Amino acid sequence: EVVLTQSPATLSLSPGERATLSCRASQSVSNYLAWFQQKPGQAPRLLVHGASYRATGVPARFSGTGSGTDFTLTISSLEPEDFAIYYCQQRSNWPLTFGGGTKVEFK
């Protein structure tokens, strides 16, 4: 099973700041890595697929990089609506797995 480790668990930032979220895989997942955003009481929303491709309608301040085992989601300048939990997920191998999540909270 591919284990995805996200860090940090919590990121305390202010609007306008840059957020850098990490996801590390226990073995290579090539570029089969996606990022999701989840707000309280809502279903997750796909942000990035194929490690670096923004999903339809996702603002350009969100960007994904990486391949193999190390991946990063960057939010260039936090907007108030970006404070949420972010999950990475791999579809390279069965079972499909998610990371434990990074909570981006107001500082």
Partner 1 sequence: EVQLLESGGDLVQPGGGSLRLSCAASGFTFSICAMNWVRQAPGKALEWVASISGSADATYYADSVKGRFTISRDNSENTLYLQMNNLRVEDTAVYYCVRRSGGWGDFDLWGQGTLVTVSS
| Site of interaction with partner 1 (CB under 8 A) | 34, 36, 38, 43-46, 49-50, 55, 87, 89, 91, 94-101
The answer to whether residues 77 and 18 touch, using CB atoms and an 8 Å cutoff, is: yes
Smaller CB separation from partner 1, 82 or 86: 86
Distance CA 44, CA 65 (A): 20
Rounded least distance, CB 96 to partner 1, Å: 4
Burial class (CB within 10 angstroms; exposed 0-12, middle 13-18, buried 19+) of 22? middle
Smaller CB separation from partner 1, 19 or 86: 86
Smaller CB separation from partner 1, 72 or 100: 100
